[in-house]
Structure formats: C-alpha cells, structure tokens
Amino acid sequence: MSKPRRVHTIYTESLFQQRLKFFAPFLREAGLDDSVLTRADCAVPLSCFVALWELLGGKVDPDIGLLIGSEPTRHVLGAYGHVVRSAPDLPTALACMSRYIVVHSQATRLDVHFTAEHVVIDYQLTDPTITQRRQDAELSISLIATSLREITDSELYPLRVEFEHAAPPRTTVHQDTFRCPVAFSAGSNRLYYGLDLLDRPLITADARLHVALVAGMEEQRQARLAESDLVGHLSQVIAARLPHGDVSLEQVARSEGMSARTLQRRLGEQQIEFSVLVEDVRRALALEYVSHSGHNLTEVALMLGYSEASSFSRAFRRWTQLTPQQYRQRARSA
C-alpha cells in the first residue's frame, strides 16, 4: 500500500543525501524523520521543509539559503531541473521552469513575464499557513540565478533582485551573491534580467532528452495540480474549522455540500488520508503559532481544536521531539 500523500509537498530529490550530517541534527525539530536522508524521491510536507530551513537560518547561518543556493544545482532539482536544463533554448527553459514547478513543489508560484526592458522571474510560496519563509525565498531565488549561469555557461547576473521579507541586519552576502541592487519588503521574490537573456545559447540543450522528459512531466503535472487544488482548498476549510473543533470527515464534507463517501472517494483518488490532512494542517499552524504568535499555549491549543493543553503538548512533542515551551524558547532565542 502506498504511503498517503501529505499537505502540499516538495520533492527533496538529492538535496539531503548530499549533506547528511548537515541536515540530520535538525530534522526532528522540523517535523521530519530520517527517511528523507536515504530516499532521493521523498516527498515531504512543504511546511516542514520550510521550517527546516528557518531552523538552519537561526542556528547555523542567517544566510544559509543564499549560500546553499549558490552551489552547483545539477543534481538537486531532479527531473524538474533536467527538463529545464535540456531545453533547446532559453525561452523554452523559462517556460518549463514556470509550467512544471508544481511537479517539484506544490503551493508554489513561479511566473515569468516580460516588460519593455526586462525578463522578470517571480517566485512565491502560496500556502497561507507558511509565513516565516525567508530562507526558502533566498534559497529558491539563488538556485534560479545559479541555474541560469550554469546552463548558459556565463557570468550571468541579474540587474535587480527583490525579496518579500524585510531586510536582514546584514546584506553583504546578498550583494556578493547577486552583484546587483537588492531590495526588500517587496510584493514577491523576483529576479530581473535584460531582454538579451532570451538570446543566450544553452550548453546543456538536448532535444531528444527534453522531448522524453516533457511527456512524463506533463503527466505528473496534471496529477500534482489535481492533488494540489484539492489539498489546498480542504486545508483552508480545515484551518477555519479547527478552533470550533468540528473537523471530522462528515462535518467537512457537509460544509462542502457533498457526502462523506464522495469526499472520501475524491481523497482516495489522490492517495490522501483525511486524518493525515488534518494532522498536517494542525502541525503547520502549531509551528507558526508557537514560534511567532503572542498567544499563550492554552490559547494555541484551543485554536487548534484541542480541548486540553496536555493533548496539544503530547501531539507537539510527537511532531518535534520538543515541548511547545521548549520550541517557543528556541524560536525566540534564534
């Protein structure tokens, strides 16, 4: 029996395998288990993946996303990376980068658009429960910039970079990474290039491989979109109902105007278990509330639908190996 899929997932590919000792000490605290260190095809909850990078930013290096994103990218993005790299030209590579992002990571938007002077690559997480995401933004934007340099075999740097998060105390690494003006507190995370980017040849182009990969990516894209749409909508419904405690399959189905059997069938088609979905929404919100809200832990427990703080504490320890108090203390001292 296949393992049930989780709320908005990201494929870690070989990222963890290449840095076992680096990631291992922080997995439990981010709600992940050791299986991600041995499986290159592992799909993990996006919220846990982002939480892991925030932990690394607080405990290892505040610029960790930029630093890792500036390293060679060939083996860290799996089939998604290969379909981009094998494209016959830059416009096709950018189109694939945007179209197939959902195969690599759900609840993620990557748009490419053009102005009179610029090619703009616009990246953003769309999961509303993930609010602390500086490291993901900096990792992703630097990965894109690094990938473009690799496939064009050139010293290609953007003309401007924007991030949605506030400016950190130190931006030296940002300047060193992008070699251009970097702005913060923007509406999204963006790379700006000149229009001449589109004319650059790709040293990684492989027409036969690209055609073969696109066929498989299209199939995966349709499956991931269907799953992502269902998961995203139900996650919002569950999050809204948690404070009231009415998050049974029957109650959620009724609120959606369908029978419990119909909802169960739709979830089964995507290999999603309702109980796992509720658990993952609770976990994502719990990490956010404990780390960054001003609510006391009893209030957090009630907001998540627990009738007793002790039940919440047991669940939180199961997710992170820490009590809510310990997790909050670590988050605020980071």
DSSP string for 86-146: T-SSHHHHHHHHHHTHHHHBSSEEEEEEE-SSEEEEEEEE--TT----HHHHHHHHHHHHH
What is the mean pLDDT of the segment spanning 250-263?
A: 91
pLDDT of residue 31: 87
Mean pLDDT lowest for which of 53-57, 164-168, 228-232, 325-329? 228-232
How far apart are alpha carbons 239 and 242 in whole angstroms? Answer: 5
- CB-based contacts of 100-104 (< 8 A; 24+ apart in sequence): 100/217, 100/220, 100/221, 102/221, 102/224, 102/225, 102/228, 103/11, 103/79, 103/217, 103/220, 103/221, 103/224, 104/10, 104/11, 104/77, 104/78, 104/80
The per-residue pLDDT for 82 is 95
Q: What is the average per-residue pLDDT within 280-298? A: 89
Residue 126 has pLDDT above 50, yes or no: yes
Residue 236 — very low, low, confident or very high, per pLDDT cuts 50/70/90? confident
Residue 334: what pLDDT? 62
- C-alpha to C-alpha distance for 27 and 21, rounded to whole angstroms: 11
Tell me the average pLDDT across 23-28: 92
If DSSP codes are grouped into helix, strand and coil, which group holds residue 41? coil
Angle (CA) 163-165-167 rounded to 5° is 85
Q: How far apart are CA 8 and CA 245, in angstroms?
A: 23
Query: Over 50: is that where the pLDDT of 13 sits?
Result: yes
The residues that bridge with 142 in the sheet, in sequence order, are: none
Q: Look up residue 6 and give its DSSP letter.
A: -
- pLDDT over 50 (residue 218): yes
Residue whose entry in the numeric block shows the structure tokens 């290969």: 82
**Positive/negative CA dihedral, 255, 258, 261, 266:** negative
| pLDDT given at position 4 | 40
Rg over alpha carbons for the chain, rounded to the nearest Å, is 21
Between the alpha carbon of residue 81 and those of residues 27, 55, 113, the distances in Å are 24, 26, 20
